[in-house]
Structure 1
């Protein structure tokens, strides 16, 4: 074997050894990174488990509500202290609070530095008493400005207030948008609203202080026009019907309102005997 061939073979062997050494070094680096990452992850998890904890009620912040206290949130949310924030499910907690408190919206945030639980609320307010039919019979409760049903428990969980004067009879979930529209205009009808009544078929009746019973008919796209006509009649009719004793007003056709007048009394027959014949 020539000297040139010998040197060439040695160079190839040297390159092979260098490649092997670099491969081994890369494997060592990967192993070091894996061990360090695993150690850091375990340490971080342990710190979170021990440090990301709500231990005091003051670490629970309740924002946005004028009528719900921290104690009510803890009770309705079934929050047991110390509370591991990692194990808390914000969506489920928000659902529990919405079901038990007089609130329209709930947002739950877990904050790290310092560890605390932040709960933002938008209050619900009962604007009317309500009655609905259930499988067990009639149930009494309340509705908010959007027509949503509120249980007596939800109402009592809010700030003490006088019971609303408006009564909603025959509440149904499918009719909630129409109820919301009526309640939004209850102070603009020209006369205090006393009662909202839904028949089983959805037909809508109102009762106001000045006009008595008003039949608004179906809850269709003409409801807004019927309410406009009602406002007009509330300003024009009371002075003209004081002595008529209306039975009701029918606005189911808003272009042709009908006044339900009591029937005229039938004249009594004249019981005076005829004069005697001569």
Structure 2
């Protein structure tokens, strides 16, 4: 059995008026929200253009993390036009531009409103060897990045005085450097210098003397292993007689020596000959 509910015309009218009032209220709320958002946005934009929020000079650029480079050097690397609103500063562009500089490995940049400044935190590359390239002196880091000496101020010593030295370094050698350097540092025979000027013959200056390796290749670890087994060579052969050690074929190493010095007995025999 169906049950019907009677609604009087007055009730319907009241409900319609209530719904209309709710709709008008929601509409006004939407308008006020829009006005408030526009006001806040406009106020924010206006505030950002205030003179106090402008980078006017290099003194408003703070540098952190630098050890070998001075703050002034890093600021000179920046391609920033002054004055410039802090929010218009091309942070990503500045970061990428700094990372193209050989002494800098990574960069992190933040903005600060009070006081108005930008903070640039750098991670420098740590040189581990002296290296000459095409007649110019510089340094190498562990990844094989060559850093010209001109980036470091006079008096700054990026590497120790007894650090490994490299002659004739070329950019294409960078891909081999990390592995080569690791092997060099783990060698039982101390290696003081790498001469890469002739790609067909990598030369090592060691505590035993000069070592010829031929072109650098996959057999380099084996060559160093053979050199390690020859570490007692100087106890059997005077170091002054060793011209060079040839490890171009590690399966058949050879030592090239000078002629032995003549003894007094040999000199006497030579004088007795008619």
Deviation digits for residues 33-58 of structure 1 (CA, Å, limit 9, x no counterpart): 11111111111122233244334544
> Residues of 2 paired with 1:20 and 1:191: CA distance?
92
CA contact (8 A) 1:101 1:157 kept: no
Task: State TM-score, norm by structure 1.
Answer: 0.71
> Residues of 2 paired with 1:61 and 1:97: CA distance?
14
The residue that corresponds to 1:140 in the other structure is 136
> Residues of 1 paired with 2:92 and 2:188: CA distance?
40
> Residues of 2 paired with 1:91 and 1:199: CA distance?
41
CA contact (8 A) 1:142 1:151 kept: yes
Q: Cα 1:35–1:122, aligned 2, differ >3 Å: closer, same or farther?
A: same
Gaps of 5+ in 1: 1-6, 132-137, 265-278
Q: Cα 1:60–1:29, aligned 2, differ >3 Å: closer, same or farther?
A: same
> Residues of 2 paired with 1:110 and 1:43: CA distance?
20
Taking the TM superposition and a 5 Å limit, the aligned residue runs for 1:1-278 are 8-50=8-50, 51-55=52-56, 57-100=58-101, 102-126=103-127, 127-131=129-133, 138=134, 140-146=136-142, 147-154=144-151, 156=152, 160-161=156-157, 166-173=165-172, 175-184=173-182, 185-186=184-185, 190-197=189-196, 200=199, 204-208=202-206, 210-215=208-213, 217-220=215-218, 223-233=220-230, 235-242=231-238, 244-250=241-247, 252-253=249-250, 256=251, 258-261=253-256
**Cα distance, 1:223 vs. partner?**
3.8
**Cα distance, 1:29 vs. partner?**
0.5
Moved more, 23-32 or 90-99: 90-99
> Residues of 1 paired with 2:227 and 2:56: CA distance?
58
